A and B are shown apart, each in its own frame.
Chain A
Amino acid sequence: MWLYSKKLQYPISIKNKDLSMAKYIITQFGGPNGELAASMRYISQRYTMPDEKGKALLTDIGTEELGHMEMVSTMVYQLTQGASIEEIKAAGLQSYYTEHGCSLFPVDSNGVPFTAAYFAATGDPVADIAEDMAAEQKARAVYENLMNQTQDPDLLAPLSFLRQREIIHYERFRELYEEYVKKYYQPDIKQNC
């Protein structure tokens, strides 16, 4: 069960419209290294974690990622508020606008729609946590690529916050991974579901 708390994890208030940045930032909503993919991946993987630590960590990070999805969506929403058709055209967002208007739809920065393949759950705890470590590093790299493209502090601050969260999550997954490699890395013993 999840409860909604009516606030962001970290405050966001973007004063300047910037449609090109919205077009790129939306990948952290619907792209392969985005927050929706991360959240769904962890929340799906948790059922096959072999111990309490894994179940707890994937539940808690998966939940936080839902909050990050909300932060990324908020950025896209605020960056596009009051955009004219001319501005939408200038940013190359006509295709998106045609299909989705001004709504939030999960795509990457090339417009490729979200796919469940991003969940990447194998049922093998070592493989899954290794996947999660890589996912956190990839998300960190994407946040850095995004930060390289703007000077707006209203945008840099939440991007920087989110980037830092990837570093923390990576470390927690790494700690779990090291335990799991010692305890459960026995590919010749096939586990039952």
Chain B
Amino acid sequence: MNIYQDNQSCFQPFFMPESHCDTNPKLFDAQEAIMLGNLFKELYMSYRGFSNYCLQPQNKRQQALLEVQTYEFVAHEINLYLDIHPKNQRMVQLYREYADKAKAAKKDFEKEFGPLLVSDSENKVPFQWVQGPWPWEYQC
């Protein structure tokens, strides 16, 4: 994964301090959100211009994995929001949408690159789960 700081082709994060709105929080799009580590525009706070990185996958595996990471990240952000605001209907709907996208992306990844969960291992010898790369390894 190549990471470029302040890449020109990359979006400039938009930040507008506003009062926190319970009903309709303003959201970054999914690709911006994972890049920044934050889905919520009102909560984004950069540090010395460091918080702006484009994620550039170097191969098909990284690309497919980034898709899973991106949608899972957005779903997780909405999950934390809903823990505190469980009655927000739009966010519940959005959670379902992104959880489904993550599920589809995971299926696509696993078809080509092996299981992300042990229970998704196919009926094959040797057992797929045991095969690397593991997440902390470079080639991952």
Contacts and interface: CB of A to CB of B under 8 A. Distances in A.
Interface of A: 3-13, 52-53, 56-57, 60-61, 64, 70, 73-74, 77-78, 81, 144, 147, 153-154, 156-157, 159-165, 167-169, 171-172, 175-176
Contacts of A165: 37-38
A172 B116 contact: no
B51 A60 contact: no
Interface residues of B, number: 46
B17 interface: no
Nearest to B47: A144
Which secondary structure dominates where chain B touches chain A?
Answer: mixed
B55 interface: yes
B105 to A, nearest CB: 11
Interface in B1-54: 1, 3-5, 34, 36-40, 43-45, 47-48, 50-51, 53
13 contacts: A6-B116, A7-B140, A10-B73, A53-B83, A73-B136, A156-B5, A160-B51, A161-B37, A164-B45, A167-B38, A167-B43, A168-B77, A172-B81
Given A7-B116, A147-B50, A172-B81, A164 B3 contact: no
A180 B19 CA distance: 21
B73 to A, nearest CB: 7
Q: Which 4 A-B pairs have the closest CB atoms?
A: A164-B37, A161-B37, A74-B136, A57-B83
A4 B136 CA distance: 14
B135 interface: yes
B83 A168 contact: no
